[in-house]
Amino acid sequence: MKYSISISLIPLFYFKYSLFLITLLNLDFLKNFVYTENLPLAISFITFTAIATIIDTKNKRHNEDLNFKNFTEFLVYFPQLIAGPILRVKQLIPKLKNKILMNNTNLKFGLVLFTVGFIKKVFLADSIADYIDPFFEGEVNNPDGIIKSFLLFPLQIYFDFSGYVDMALGSSILLGISLPQNFNKPYLSTSLTDFWRNWHITLSSWFRDYLYIPLGGSRKSRANLFFNLILVMSAAGFWHGASLNFILWGFLNGLILFSEKIVGRIFNFPKFLKIFFTCFIIFNLWMVFRINEFSFLMSFIFEFYTNLNRIFLFENLLTLLILVAGIFSQKFDDFNKIKNFSNNIPLYVILPFVMIIILTGLGINAGSSEKFIYFEF
C-alpha cells in the first residue's frame, strides 16, 4: 500500500512542489527539470481521492468491486472534480450505478442550489475581489484599504469556495446524485476546532482519518498531541500551496488547536463572545493565508493594528457592518432550508428566475469571471 501511495504522490509533487522545493533547498542544477506552468486542474483533489481509495480498499472500508471503468468514473466525476468536495468510494460509486434520475424535485433543488452558488461567486466574491485585490498586491497602500481588505477577505473566500461547492452539489443533484456537504456555517463556530469541523469538511475529515488518527490522534501524551496537530495542520497548509506562508498558516492553526484542547475548557464565555473570538482568530489567520511575502504580511498586519482606530470612520464602519451581515447570513445559508424552499416553489417560477440571475451575472462579468480561489490548490 505504501508504494501505491508514494506513486500517487509523484505527479502532485512534481507539478505543484518541484519548483518550491528546489528553490528552497538551493538545488539550482535541477531548475531545468522543474514544472513552472499552471497547475493541472484538480491534481490535489484527484490525488487525495486516489489515496483515500487505496487506503479504504486495503482496510475493507467499502464493499465495491473496483475496476478501471468504475474507478475512473469515480475519480473524474465532473461536478466535484476541480475543487471538491473530496469523496470516498462508498459516497459515490454506488450512486453512479443507478440511472440518472431527473425528476421535478431534483430539477428544482439542483437549480436553486446552483443559483445560490452562482450568486455567491459572481455577485459577491468577484465583486469583493475586484475591490480588495489591489490592496493585497501592494498596488494601493493606505490604512483604510488595509482595514477593508482585512474585513472583506473572509467573506470573499467563503463566498468563492462555498459558491463553487453549491454549484457542484446543485449540478450533481440535477442528475439525482447527492454529494456530501462541505460547509456548515463556519463563521458561526464557537472555537477553531469547531471551525475545522464546519469549513471544507471533506478535507478536514480526510486529514483526520488518513493522517491524524493513524498518528495516534489525541490518545497518547500531550507532547504527542502537540506533534500530531502541528504536523497535520502544517501538512494541510502545505496542501493548499507551495509557499512558506501556507505552511506557517497551517502551523499556527495547529498551535491554536492544541491550545484550545489544553485550556479551552477553563473558560466559559457566552456563545456570541466565543463566535467573536473565533472569528477574530480566523480572520487574522486568513491574512497569513492570503499574503505570501512575509515582509508584506508583517507590514500589512502592523498597518492594520496601528490604524485600528480608523475602523470607526464611516466607510470602514460600513464595511464592518457588511462583514457582520455576511456572518449573520450564514444562519440562512443552510442546505436543508434551501431544499425546503425549492420544494415549495413551482418549477415554472424557478426557471425564469434562474435564467435572469445567470444571464445578468454573465452580462455583468462580460461572459467571464474570476478564477475560483481553490483552482490554485
101 and 176 Cβ atoms separated by less than 8 Å? yes
Q: Count CA atoms closer than 13 A to 328's CA, side-chain side.
A: 7
Q: Do residues 43 and 139 both lie within one domain?
A: no
Q: Do residues 180 and 318 both lie within one domain?
A: yes
Between CA 339 and CA 335 the distance in angstroms is: 6
How does residue 328 score in pLDDT terms, banded at 50, 70 and 90?
very high
Q: Do residues 82 and 169 both lie within one domain?
A: no
| DSSP three-state, residue 25 | coil
| DSSP three-state, residue 218 | coil
Q: Do residues 52 and 186 both lie within one domain?
A: no
Cell numbers 499574503: residue: 291
Q: Is residue 290 part of a domain?
A: yes
Closest to 200 (Cα-Cα) out of 163, 172, 161, 166: 161
Q: Do residues 64 and 119 both lie within one domain?
A: no
Q: Do residues 109 and 60 both lie within one domain?
A: no
Residue 267 φ then ψ, to 5°: -100, 140
Count: domains in the chain: 2
Closest to 251 (Cα-Cα) out of 285, 207, 204, 217: 285
Q: What letter represents residue 154's amino acid?
A: P
Q: Is residue 363 part of a domain?
A: no
Q: Do residues 10 and 92 both lie within one domain?
A: yes
Q: What percent of the chain has pLDDT over 70?
A: 94
Q: Do residues 6 and 83 both lie within one domain?
A: yes
pLDDT of residue 325: 95
Q: Is residue 57 part of a domain?
A: yes
Q: Is residue 323 part of a domain?
A: yes
pLDDT greater than 60 at residue 352? yes
Q: Is residue 210 part of a domain?
A: no
pLDDT greater than 70 at residue 208? yes
Q: Do residues 19 and 113 both lie within one domain?
A: no
Q: Is residue 206 part of a domain?
A: no
Alpha-helical segments (H) within the chain: 2-12, 18-24, 43-58, 68-75, 78-81, 89-96, 104-118, 126-136, 143-174, 192-198, 201-207, 222-240, 244-263, 271-290, 294-306, 314-328, 335-343, 347-364
pLDDT digits (tens, 9 = 90+) for 192-202: 999 999 999 99
Closest to 106 (Cα-Cα) out of 209, 179, 161, 197: 179
Q: Do residues 170 and 270 both lie within one domain?
A: yes
pLDDT digits (tens, 9 = 90+) for 72-126: 888 888 887 776 788 888 888 888 888 777 788 899 999 999 999 999 999 999 9
41 and 78 Cβ atoms separated by less than 8 Å? no
pLDDT of residue 364: 77
Q: Which residues contact 231 (CB under 8 A, 6 or more apart)?
A: 211, 215, 254
pLDDT of residue 67: 86
Q: What percent of the chain has pLDDT over 90?
A: 47
pLDDT digits (tens, 9 = 90+) for 223-241: 899 999 999 999 999 999 8
Domain boundary among 27, 62, 96: 96
Q: Do residues 48 and 122 both lie within one domain?
A: no
Read off the DSSP letter of residue 124.
I
- Over residues 198-227, the mean pLDDT reads 90
Q: Do residues 116 and 91 both lie within one domain?
A: no
Here the cell at position 148 is 477593508
Between CA 39 and CA 242 the distance in angstroms is: 11
pLDDT greater than 60 at residue 368? no
Q: Which residues contact 27 (CB under 8 A, 6 or more apart)?
A: 21
Q: Is residue 344 part of a domain?
A: no
Residues that are catalytic: 240
The residue range of the domain holding 78 is 2-96
- Over residues 130-158, the mean pLDDT reads 88
Q: Is residue 233 part of a domain?
A: no
Burial of 299 (0-12, 13-18, 19+ CB in 10 A): middle
Domain boundary among 30, 61, 96: 96
Between CA 109 and CA 329 the distance in angstroms is: 20
How does residue 17 score in pLDDT terms, banded at 50, 70 and 90?
confident
Between CA 272 and CA 232 the distance in angstroms is: 29
Here the cell at position 223 is 507532547
Domain boundary among 71, 96, 121: 96
Between CA 32 and CA 14 the distance in angstroms is: 13
